[in-house]
Each structure stands twice: as structure tokens, then as C-alpha cells.
Structure 1
Amino acid sequence: MFGGPAVISTISPIIRRSGSRPVFAELGDENFSPSAVEMKAAVLPISPAIMPSPVLLWRFKVLLFFVWAFSCCKISWDSVMRMSADLRDLFLYEAFLYFNPLLLTTMMVWLWGVNLWVFDQSTVNYPKIFDLDQNHLTHREIWKSATWMTIIVPTSMTSYLYLYSHGEVSLAASQPVLLYAAVALILIFPFDIFYLSSRYYLLRTLWRIILPLQAITFSDFFLADILTSMSKVFSDLERSACRMVHRQVATIAWFEADSVCGSHSIAIPLVLVLPYLFRFFQCLRQYNDTREKTALFNALKYSTAVPVIGISALKYHVQPDMWTKIYRPLWLLSSVMNSLYSFYWDVTRDWDLSGPSRIFKFKSPMFFSNLFSNSWVYFWAVGSNLILRCTWTYKLSAHLRHNYLTLFTITILEMFRRFQWVFFRVENEWNKMTSHRQNPQIPMSDIPSEEDRLLGSTNHNV
């Protein structure tokens, strides 16, 4: 104590700036001197915590992602090449069946995040359209969820391929079962994690779609329309669940047509038609609430999908001659009617574009655009929507489902069509909400009010 170096209290306040010498001060310390401070600083140097920059951290995450993607591709390729050529196609088809639905759902989540990002950059107030509060999920949170889905689903698929090709059939069979069980548990998890309010909002909306016992809101219509584009996803989910229940995962016995989960199962067309039936009953409920005749014509549009799916499924239950002479022409006719009717409704009702003259009017104050300033975007939307509507009819046909790569490609194209449909559908709804207030000279007959007169609207947390 006496004659020794100055003792600095451990509770003394320490103030230091970057690039300056530390300063120690304690009231009542008689031995305080600059030399003692320098000696203490030399013994116990104090430096601020070094945190990586956000750019460096982001680059590190991207590097890890590419390493993970390369590892999954390499392991999957090696696993497939280990199998014999005659068994390889069956093996890939089964793996595709289990993981295709979740991969497509992941893609849809990514695209929905892009939709929200574009809305944020524009004047379209999508929280007001969907009747959301300030706690709704933003595009960043949607992309974060999609990132985790992008990592988890391919990792499970890679594990399935690796274990199956190395003879661990029982472990391979557990991979899709665990994956689907985890997804179901996360959706119904009752604790306040994983965006509890958003998950329950989604479940409540799905319940109102299945049982439209109360007034239909715009979000109910909107999500039900998206579900019609995912009808094949639900069909594959049903077939996957059937195999899991009957313990047929990682086997090829189910390829027999007369098996429980075979390709001739009546459950396949029933699940395909369910989203259209849900939307059909929504339209009937809307007509009951509003007495708008437009709702009946909308219901008629969704009913045209039933013959396409039903007649296609008859191929497995009628003679080949009858299919060629009678049912195939009927299927082609119903397909053309469904495609053209759906295209007409998209352009004239959902988007409120009655033709080229209407598209050009988006440059005028009367029919303004909040998303795109160039009219060619609307011409592209109209043309591509017509083409993709016709290709989607191919996807609804049960007798054409054996070429799974072609069907997977068509499903991706349909999701892209729905992705661009979202822009113009939401923009049209926002225009209807604001055009009359900003332009009172517009006659009310020019403003479609398909959902404006719906009864009631609740505020949801998303």
C-alpha cells in the first residue's frame, strides 16, 4: 500500500473514447497521478468489443448458404447415381412426391414477400386493404421465414436420398414423416413464438374458407383464390399422407394402380376440386349477403373447373374407346371453357381491364396506376395470363399427371401467374377504395364494388 503503485478501485467509472487514453478517477484518492494511470492501463488494457460489420456478416451468411447448397446437390447426385438405372426413375418420382408440395409452398412464400416489398415501394396501402393492424408481418419477416423453409426442406430431402441409397430404408422413411409433423406442430404451436398471431390468423382464415358461415372478407376471397393455384400441391399432400398412414414411404408398391394410394384413387380428383368448391360456396355466401348478381357469375366460373377434373378422372374407369370417342372431346371442350372464362374474369373483374383502351387510361387521373407507370406491363400481364391459364388446365387433368417434371414446371408457371395476378388484383382493390374519394366526378357504375358491400369486417393481427 505504502510506496507501491496506485490502486484503482474496480468500481471506478471508466470513460474512454476511441483513440484516446483511458482516464481513471476516484473521489478522495490521494495517490492518483497520470503515471499511475498509465501504469494501470499498461497492466490491464481495455479495448472496445469488436463487432463485425453488417456487410461482412451478410457475406459470411451468403458463403455458408452456397456451401450448404453445394453440399446438398453433391450428396443428392451421388445418392441417385448409386442406384440402378431401372429403379432410379421410380426413386426420384417418389422423392419428388413427398417434397414437391413443401418446395412449391416455399416458392410461394418467397413470391409473396416480393409482392409485399413492391407494395411497400408504392402508394398501395395493403394493410388497409386486408384490414391489418401495425403488427402485421413485413416482407423482411416473410423472407426470413422463406429462408428457413428453403434450408429445412432440401436438407430433409437430401437426407432421404442419402439414407435410401445407402440401404437405411427405415431411417429414410422417417424423413418426410418428421418434416410434415414439424410443419403441423409449428402451425398449431400455442406459445408466442414463430409469429403466433400470424399463424393463428392464417388458420382462422383457412377455417372461414372451409366453412363460410360468416360474412366473407377480402382476405378470405384473396387467400381462397391463391389456394386454387395450389390445388395440385394439396393433391400431392393427400397422396403423401396416404402413404405415411399406410406405411408405404420408401417403397414402390404404391405404383400399382389398384393399391390403396395408387394413381387411380378417387381421392386425387376430389382433393383437386376442393379449392374450387370452397371458392364456389364463398361466392354463394357473398350473393346471400349482398344480392350482387356478379357473385353468381363468379360462382359459375369456379364451377367450370369441376367438369375438367371429373371427366379427366374418368379415363381410369371407362373403356379406352369410350374415352377417345366421348369423354376426351368433352374434356377438351370443358378445358377451353374454363380457361377462357377464367381469363375473361381476371381481366375484366379482378384487374378491371376491359381492353386496350382501359389499359391506356391508367395514365390518366381517372384510372390511375400505383404500381407500374408503363402500360406495356399491363399488356404483358394480359397476354401471359391467357397463355398460362391454358397451360394450367393441363395441370388439373388427372390423366396427364405421370410426367412429373412437366407438371412441376407447369405448377411453377401457374404460381408465377398468380404472383403477377396479386399485383393487379390488390392494385385494383386499392383503386376502388380511393378513386371515388379522389375523383368524385367518376360515376359509381364505373367503380366495381364486388366486395365493398360485404357484411362486417374484423381487424386481424398478422
Structure 2
Amino acid sequence: MDEQQVAEQVIEQPVDGLFSSYFPLPYRAVSTFILGVWAWGITLHYLTKLRIDVESLIRFNQQRTGPPLYRSVYEVAGILTVVYVASATLFWMASNASENFAFLALDILPLSCFIAVPGVFFYPGIAFHQSGRYRFLRTMRRIVFGGLDRDTRFADTLVADALTSYTKVFGDMWIMACMFLSRKSVASMPDRTCGGKYIVPAIIAIPYLIRLRQCLIDYLRSGGQDFYHLLNAIKYSTTFPVIILSAVQRSYSESETATFFGALTLYNLWVLSMIVNSLFSFYWDVTRDWDLTMFTVSSKNANLAHKGLRSIMYFPSYVYYVAVFLDFILRFTWSLKISPHLYFFNEQEGGVFALEIMELLRRWLWLFLRIETEWIRSTASGRLPIVMTEGGTGMHEAKD
């Protein structure tokens, strides 16, 4: 693409394209990744303050050598942020300069940032916390190819669950690659029809397939005795009708599909599948991932000081109620996000990015309570010792 073509794309930007002009797709994708790293560091830091030994749960640094894990994560996040801010600043400066710098601003800078930030994890030197970076890469390789390590199972499932919150970002990465190969500026308005109508939905489905396979591995390892793993697999499988029906609606042609389904029938099926997936996922978050009792019937619940919660809690009671409320709302908004046929969301780039950020927020809140729950289970079962300090364990019991 020469400078004249780049300049023409700048001139032809629609109103919504202004968002992409100042915040192009590569920078958006990278920003969600960096935010995820910062969120993980903050989670580790705060839970450590509560005397929850996350490093033991994820089987990291069991010899207790070196600084706390959250410090290492902060340092990596800081490095990534510096690279990102430097690139974005140069991009904004160059985009407001003469046309001679247009090509540099619209393509080279965003793409180089997109490559450089993940590239930090592949740096072969011992600097920048090599052991932690390489462990993350090994975990990614294992789960992408469908593996589930017995010893680091909890860490593997956490990473796989996090990937399901990045599904739309992965779809955006495909759009970006398709535009680049089609000789379109990746800093222009994203062409969300690039590459066909079914590739992006297929990419969106991959993280759910990974998590589904992990659940089936757990079920088989239990000898078919633990049906909760099978139910969890069914939960992830309810995502696929939402994605498939949405893709069919986007490519709907009355003449081609009226024989089987009309437009209204397709829409009603999509709504039904979205409701089933959102409610099932929400119920699982609250009841199984967080061990809260608001949807369970038991005589033990009557003795709880805070109705619907549990006896052992590391956070104030209002945190759980707020988390449940936000999880319910954001579960439904994420179902909208994985539905490419909703043009009023998916063709407004600011709206697309806002929904991605909201899903990261939901996953972040989920992560706090999920790790807390696993810690309570592990210490209660004797799999891990309770960390005792001068400040106690950090937990409290809800009693009458």
C-alpha cells in the first residue's frame, strides 16, 4: 500500500471510523491484553494481602524463592505498558503530521506494537522474569492443544476460562490479519466482512471447545463418577447454538433458508439459546465456581448470617451481592458480544470495544471469588495448609 492509498483511506473514513482512526484495531487488541496482565497482578496482590496463597494454588514457585509473583507480574505489565504508550504516542503524533508520515502512522506503528507486546513473552534472555514467561507459554501451548495437567489443573482451567473472555478479541485479530493480507490499512475502519461470514464465528468458538475438552478430560479421569464435570461440559456446549444461529442470521437469505427456517424462527431460536446459555453460565458461576448458596436449598443455609452466601468469606458480604448482580448483567451482554449478526453493536467500533472491556471486568470480578473459593476448598480438604501470619488468615466466618 503506497502513501496515496493510505491518504485516501484517511479521507474516506466514516463518522464511526474516527474512533478507529485514533484507536485502531491493533492497539485495541493489545490494550485488552495489557489490561488483563494488570488485572492478574492486582488480583494476586490483593489476595496475598488477604492471606490467600495463590502461588500454592497454581503450583508456582513452591520453593518460595525470589519476590512475590504479583511483583513480577507488575514488572512485566509495566514493560508492556511502556512499549504500548510509546508506540501509541508516536502513532498519534505521526497521524497529525504531513502525508509523508501517514504510512508510518497507519500501518507500521500499530502492527509493530501488536507484534512487540506478545513478543516480550518470547524473549530468550533471562531478563524480564524468564521462568514465569516461559511457564505461561507452556501453559498456553498445553491448553491450546487440548491438554490438562493434573498437577497444575487449576491454573490450566483459569487460563482457559480467561481465553473465553477474549473470544471477540481473537476474532478482531483475524479481521486485522485479513485486512493486512488484502492490502487494506489496519488503522482504517475494520472490514468485518473480510474473510467471509463464518471464519470469525469459528474462531470465537475455539476457546469454548478448549474448555469443553478440559471438562470431558476431568470427567473421564474421575472414572465417570463426577457428573459435575459433565454438566460443566454441557454448559460450555450451550455457547455453540448462540454462535451458530447468530452466524446463520448474519448470512440469512430468505430464498435459501425459508424452506427450513424463516427469519423470525431463527431469531426466536437465537434468543432462546442466548437465554439458556446466559442463565446456565450465571447459575454455574454463583453455585459452583463461587460456592454461594442463594440458589441451593439446604438446612445449613438457614443458619447463615448473610442469606445466600456461605459460612467462610474473605470479602465483606456486600462484595458477593454486587458480584452476583454484575455477573448476571454482564453474562447477557457477553452473549450479545459473541453474536456477529447484531449490527448495532458489532458495527459501532466504540460499542464493540466497550463490550470487550465489560467482559474483562466481569472476568476480573469472577477471578477474585473463584480463587477465594478454591482456596477455601483446598484448605478445608487438607490439600493445602492455611497460611498463618501475625494478622491471622484473613478470613472470617458468617454467623448469627
Shorter-chain TM-score: what band? 0.7 to 0.9
Partner of 2:326: 384
Range with greater deviation from structure 2 (218-227 or 309-318): 309-318
Distance 2:102 2:329 in 1: 43
Residues 213 and 275 (structure 1), Cα distance of their counterparts in 2 relative to 1, 3 Å cut: closer
Distance 1:345 1:100 in 2: 30
Distance 1:136 1:344 in 2: 38
- Write out aligned runs for 1:381-460 (5 A): 381-400=323-342, 401-437=346-382
Runs of 4+ in structure 1 over 6 Å off: none
Matched, 1:92 2:14: no
Distance 1:175 1:360 in 2: 60
- Write out aligned runs for 1:207-286 (5 A): 207-213=141-147, 215-216=149-150, 217-250=153-186, 255=191, 257=193, 261=194, 264-286=196-218
Distance 1:343 1:318 in 2: 30
Paired letter, 1:384? L
- Write out aligned runs for 1:102-181 (5 A): 102-133=30-61, 134=64, 135=66, 138-165=69-96, 166-167=98-99, 168-172=101-105, 173-181=107-115
Paired letter, 2:251? H
Distance 1:437 1:363 in 2: 26
Check whether the contact 2:246–2:341 (CA below 8 A) recurs between aligned residues: yes
Matched residue SS, 1:255: coil
* TM-score using structure 2 length: 0.79
Q: CA deviation at 1:368?
A: 1.4
Check whether the contact 1:99–1:157 (CA below 8 A) recurs between aligned residues: yes
Per-residue CA distance 1:288-319 (angstroms, 9 max, x = gap): 11132111100000011111111111123222
Check whether the contact 1:215–1:289 (CA below 8 A) recurs between aligned residues: no
Matched residue SS, 1:187: helix
RMSD across aligned positions (CA): 2.9
Partner of 1:293: 227
Where relative contact order (Cα < 8 A, 6+ residues apart) is larger, the structure is: 2
Partner of 2:311: 367
Paired letter, 1:149? L
Residues 223 and 270 (structure 1), Cα distance of their counterparts in 2 relative to 1, 3 Å cut: same
Matched residue SS, 2:155: helix
Distance 1:305 1:158 in 2: 39
Taking every aligned residue pair, what percent have the same amino acid on both sides?
A: 32
Task: Tell me the number of residue pairs that the alignment of Structure 1 and Structure 2 aligns.
Answer: 350
Residues 87 and 436 (structure 1), Cα distance of their counterparts in 2 relative to 1, 3 Å cut: closer
Paired letter, 2:56? K
Paired letter, 1:211? F
Per-residue CA distance 1:315-357 (angstroms, 9 max, x = gap): 2322268663121111111100010000010011100112187
Distance 2:167 2:356 in 1: 10
Residues 281 and 177 (structure 1), Cα distance of their counterparts in 2 relative to 1, 3 Å cut: same
Q: CA deviation at 1:284?
A: 0.9
- Residue in structure 1 matching 2:117, options 172, 183, 193: 183
Q: CA deviation at 1:363?
A: 7.4
* TM-score using structure 1 length: 0.69
Q: CA deviation at 1:359?
A: 10
Matched residue SS, 2:185: coil
Paired letter, 1:130? I
Paired letter, 1:392? W
Check whether the contact 2:197–2:250 (CA below 8 A) recurs between aligned residues: no
Gaps of 5+ in 2: 1-9, 384-400
Distance 1:233 1:113 in 2: 21
Q: CA deviation at 1:160?
A: 3.0
Gaps of 5+ in 1: 1-82, 439-462
Matched residue SS, 1:355: coil
Distance 1:110 1:309 in 2: 30
Range with greater deviation from structure 2 (295-304 or 139-148): 139-148
Distance 2:131 2:302 in 1: 39
Check whether the contact 1:215–1:285 (CA below 8 A) recurs between aligned residues: no
Residues 86 and 177 (structure 1), Cα distance of their counterparts in 2 relative to 1, 3 Å cut: closer
Check whether the contact 1:124–1:430 (CA below 8 A) recurs between aligned residues: yes
Residues 184 and 412 (structure 1), Cα distance of their counterparts in 2 relative to 1, 3 Å cut: closer
Matched residue SS, 2:127: coil
Q: CA deviation at 1:267?
A: 1.8
Which protein is bigger by CA-based radius of gyration?
Answer: 1
Q: CA deviation at 1:164?
A: 4.0
Q: CA deviation at 1:186?
A: 2.1
Check whether the contact 1:287–1:295 (CA below 8 A) recurs between aligned residues: yes
Per-residue CA distance 1:65-110 (angstroms, 9 max, x = gap): xxxxxxxxxxxxxxxxxx7695453353364322111111111222
